[in-house]
A and B are shown apart, each in its own frame.
Chain A
Amino acid sequence: MTAPAHHHAPAPHAYVSPIPVRAAHLGDALASEWTKIRSVRSTVWTLGVMILLMLALGLGVAAIAATSEAEMGEESALAFGFFGMLPASICVITLGVLTIASEYGTGMIRTTLTACPSRARVLTAKAIVFFLLVFSVTTVLATLVAVAQVALVDTAATPTTAEWLRATVGAGGYLALLGLLSLAVGTLIRHSAGAITVMIGLLLMPLVAALFMFNQTLQSLQKFLFTYAIPSQMISLYSEKPPFGDSGPAGWEPLLIMAAVAAAALGGAYALLNSRDV
């Protein structure tokens, strides 16, 4: 088929793409990541399950409290938001990990990084799109649940403005930051199942481990785990004073702690993503 003697002279002018070249920026990467996150079913599933859990548990617990007419003292009904927040965090973790690890699982990451060789831009775009999506969904949901809880339980104290803010924007921010941490862990581990397991372990293991620390010498560690485990910090978010003993995070502090942890993990993810072979 190929005539052996026939030499192709290189074309005098190389082909030039007719599509005009303008330098792409973060905005383009954001558009791309938004298309990615909205076009896979795992987003719909994880967020859908999360919405159901937050509504069912938040409203369910409030309804039980309302019928039992338990005396709440100085507590406001907003604290019931915790019961929906804990299971919701598992959904957020899953979505956060999948946002990046599914690209490694499918091989899409090669295509993504070929299209956008700035790895920092890819990770930044993913983090922003994911954070905004989760933050807005969870904040709206937490607000709905909080309003319903306060309306249902009339024996509890009237929440202050700060309490309202923490139960809505605070809860949404905490979950979204936990999701960012998951995204960072997914980037570091590059494997969906592995990263989800690590994150669920991080969520639940400290409390489980602390339960079995009967030994006297372990008491200070046990106390630390009880205070700083993620579920404990979620409870702290709804409380003005440290809920477990005299010290420990309270009010907005859990949010700051989670922000610091997520930032550190993302820093590691940037460094590794930039230096590593895909």
Chain B
Amino acid sequence: MIELEGLTKRYGTKIAVDHLSFQVRPGVVTGFLGPNGAGKSTTMRMMLDLDNPTSGTVRIDGKHYRDLAEPLKYIGALLDAKAMHGGRSAYNNLLCLAQSNRIPASRVGEVLDLVGLTAVAKKKSKGFSLGMGQRLGIASALLGDPEILMFDEPVNGLDPEGIHWIRNLMKALAAEGRTIFVSSHLMSEMALTADHLIVIGQGKLLADTSMADFIQQNSRSFVRMRSPQQERLRDVLHANGFVVVEAGHGALEVDGATTEKLGELAAENGLVLHELSQQRASLEEAFMQMTAAAVEYHAHGTDVHGGAAAPGPQWGPTSEGA
């Protein structure tokens, strides 16, 4: 369990992280989402006590990071893949970390095996590809077999096979009861891995919600219909009080209806359907809409904090006071 309370980071007059408060719970993958420059990495560095917050606190299982006896056994982090000495072998890079936390040297071999780098264990890490570097970083995060894992943009620059591997790894780790906190700027990636979602923009919390709720609230759901008898279909839908939008290519989009209901309606009226499908607007769109609001809001220069309660287009400066 990680708890952030009023976490703020100011660089001169620029606020990188603005009164962030949220919790990261065990047993689930929590996605940390925001556009580039939203303050994700700064937040993660403060969580690891690398950067000092201007104000606010971070607690890991109720303790400050500096008070953890052997932090690698509580928390493992992948900040950036190249955070290793390139002139040192993969094995030695991990060994020096293990020694500083009294982790048995045999564990180094285990994690190298886990990430599939055993064959290149004695090779210098500067010769590693991006994907291998990422795997080495993950191996270092897993070294202490920790309860909490933090990954900053783990899929950046990986090939589909690598992305798939990381996705499954995160899910498996969460299923063991671990706390997984993973940042990304890609909503589509989060939709596939995260159970819970924390969205920030301009350093402010925009949403703290379960993935399911986010999807429900932010993706417009509609039914797409195509029929050779389009005119008659439209009349029937109108007559039954549905709002119909012409979508081009002979398709109609109907809001606020189920496919069952519309299918039955078409059958009752003897209409031929070529398509009847449930559609959702992309989450990426919803995410961009949400963060765009943050940028717009910031530009007006008001000083009210964004609320977490109401994500989506309805989110606005009035939702919560400072």
* A132-150 vs B, Cβ < 8 Å mask (1 yes, 0 no): 0000000000000000000
In the bound complex, residues from chain B placing their C-beta under 8 Å from that of A14 are 1, 26-27, 147, 177-179
Alpha-carbon gap, A13 to B178, bound state (A): 9
**Closest chain A residue, CB of each to CB of B1:** A14
CB proximity to A under 8 Å, residues B98-156: 99-104, 107, 140, 144-147
**Closest chain A residue, CB of each to CB of B167:** A1
Contact A15 B178 (CB under 8 A): yes
- Of the four ranges (under 10, 10 to 19, 20 to 34, 35 or more), the interface on chain B belongs to 35 or more
In the bound complex, residues from chain A placing their C-beta under 8 Å from that of B85 are 36, 40, 102-103, 106, 108
B320 at the binding interface (Cβ < 8 Å): no
Most buried by A among B70, B71, B85, B89: B85
B66 at the binding interface (Cβ < 8 Å): yes
In the bound complex, residues from chain B placing their C-beta under 8 Å from that of A5 are 212
Query: When A and B form their complex, which 8 residue pairs have the shortest distance between CB atoms, in order from nearest?
Result: A11-B27, A11-B177, A32-B100, A39-B92, A107-B83, A14-B26, A15-B177, A277-B51
Which of A62-70, A113-121, A162-170, A212-220 lines the interface with chain B?
A113-121
Contact A10 B26 (CB under 8 A): yes
Contact A115 B195 (CB under 8 A): no
- Of the four ranges (under 10, 10 to 19, 20 to 34, 35 or more), the interface on chain A belongs to 35 or more
Contacts known (A16-B147, A17-B145, A36-B96); A24 close to B101, Cβ less than 8 A: yes
* B24-53 vs A, Cβ < 8 Å mask (1 yes, 0 no): 011110000000000000000100111110
- 17 chain-A/chain-B pairs, Cβ below 8 angstroms: A2-B194, A6-B212, A10-B27, A17-B74, A18-B145, A35-B96, A36-B85, A39-B95, A41-B87, A110-B80, A110-B83, A111-B140, A114-B48, A114-B71, A115-B97, A116-B71, A116-B100
Contact A7 B65 (CB under 8 A): no
Contacts known (A19-B104, A32-B97, A110-B83); A2 close to B191, Cβ less than 8 A: yes
* B188-215 vs A, Cβ < 8 Å mask (1 yes, 0 no): 0001111100000000000000111001
In the bound complex, residues from chain A placing their C-beta under 8 Å from that of B107 are 19
A275 at the binding interface (Cβ < 8 Å): yes
Alpha-carbon gap, A4 to B146, bound state (A): 29
